[in-house]
Structure 1
Amino acid sequence: MRAIPDIPVHLAGRPSSGGLVVPMITPATRDGLYLFGKITDLVQYQCLIRSLCQVCGQRLGRRAVMFARESDLFYGCTAEPAACPPCAAYSRRACPMLAARRSRYRASEHPALAGIPLAADQLLRQSAPAEPWYAVWIRDYDVIEHPARPGTLAASWQRIPPLCIRPLAATA
């Protein structure tokens, strides 16, 4: 049984589910079920445009962390908004993909989303082996349309070189 990481003090007021903090960007069903691993388009837009942390919702400081899949590195951008360093540290421990506790993507969509079409990249990931993840430490980013996902906004570090890019743990 995996240990659930302690919730940092700065996140104590956020909703939680199963002992984990629900990131600001995580959507919920009408019944209050949180859909971890999904992103709310409106909140994604707000986080990217207003430079807000995707977990706590506070304004990003002088440094932030973007979590990027290996395929994102090729494009120099990710659809995932950045996180402040304390939230990034918590996310690395709490998120099963970032912590490499899951070796594959979900085999099917959550039943609460039945009938809602999936984006092409989500269809390709179903049941696929998980890609390696990287922490991209940044000072700033540009908001662009993702080159591989038309109509999807992304945070880009192409014009503004990152402070560093570090691989996260290998998948289990």
Structure 2
Amino acid sequence: MTVTPDIPVHLVDRPRAGGLVVPWITPATAGGGLYLFGTIDGLSQYRCVTRRLCQVCGRRLGERAVLFARESDLLHQCAAEPAVCPPCAAYSRRACPMLAGRRHQYRAGNHPALAGTPMTASQVLRQAAPAEPWYAVWIRDYDVVDHPAQPGTLAASWQRIPPRRIRPLPATA
């Protein structure tokens, strides 16, 4: 049974799909009929990382933010997923099936609405693979770098600016 988490007050005006808030970086199909959860709009990702915007609400990040990082991201001390503000981090941990531990592997292919569209290199690598463990990396700031494992993709790096803390997310909800 899927439980729809309570929506934080600052997100009540955001679009919803299936009872969940649609993150600011989530693209929609042409005409806006279907939101492509699990997919990131490249321009929005770029804007979030370079302008220090929350990937869920689209607002400017404050003195504290969270990067959700896969285990492989910890090795590189950076994440291509943009940071989130603390209230959006709390919501995302409950709402996102990957972060909440309700989904244990990546999609076997592209989002169904994108059938026939080429997949990115990182999507191909994760195709149907077991989900990596996730971590919450609490940061005060980050450097914008080219992700070493995903050339051409900007990432938020905590290599030079030590994070406040790094906590593993539970493996199951």
Do both proteins adopt the same fold according to a TM-score greater than 0.5, normalized to the shorter chain? yes
2:23 maps to amino acid: P
Distance 1:16 1:108 in 2: 24
Distance 1:111 1:89 in 2: 28
SS in 1 for 2:137: strand
Distance 1:40 1:101 in 2: 23
* Structure 1 equivalent of residue 124 of structure 2: 123
* Unpaired stretches in structure 2, ≥5 consecutive residues: none
* Structure 2 equivalent of residue 17 of structure 1: 17
Distance 1:37 1:62 in 2: 27
Shift in Å, 1:110 = 1.8
Alignment pair present for 1:133 and 2:134: yes
SS in 1 for 2:135: strand
2:19 maps to amino acid: G
Shift in Å, 1:111 = 2.5
Aligned-pair identity in percent equals 75
Deviates more, 1:110-119 or 1:144-153: 110-119
Shift in Å, 1:171 = 4.4
Distance 1:104 1:73 in 2: 19
Shift in Å, 1:121 = 1.7
- What count of residue pairs does the alignment treat as equivalent? 172
Distance 2:13 2:137 in 1: 27
1:16-64 residue CA offsets vs partner (Å, 9 max, x unmatched): 0000000000000014200011111111111111111000011000000
Q: TM-score, normalised by structure 1?
A: 0.97
Shift in Å, 1:170 = 1.0
SS in 1 for 2:87: helix
1:60-119 residue CA offsets vs partner (Å, 9 max, x unmatched): 000000000000000000100000000000000000000000111111212221222111
* Structure 1 equivalent of residue 92 of structure 2: 91
SS in 2 for 1:86: helix
Q: CA RMSD in A?
A: 1.0
1:17 maps to amino acid: A
Distance 2:82 2:89 in 1: 11
The ranges of structure 1 where at least 4 consecutive aligned residues each deviate by more than 6 angstroms after the TM superposition are: none
Deviates more, 1:51-60 or 1:26-35: 26-35
1:29 maps to amino acid: T
* Structure 1 equivalent of residue 169 of structure 2: 168
Distance 2:43 2:121 in 1: 20
Counterpart contact for 1:91–1:98, Cα < 8 Å: yes
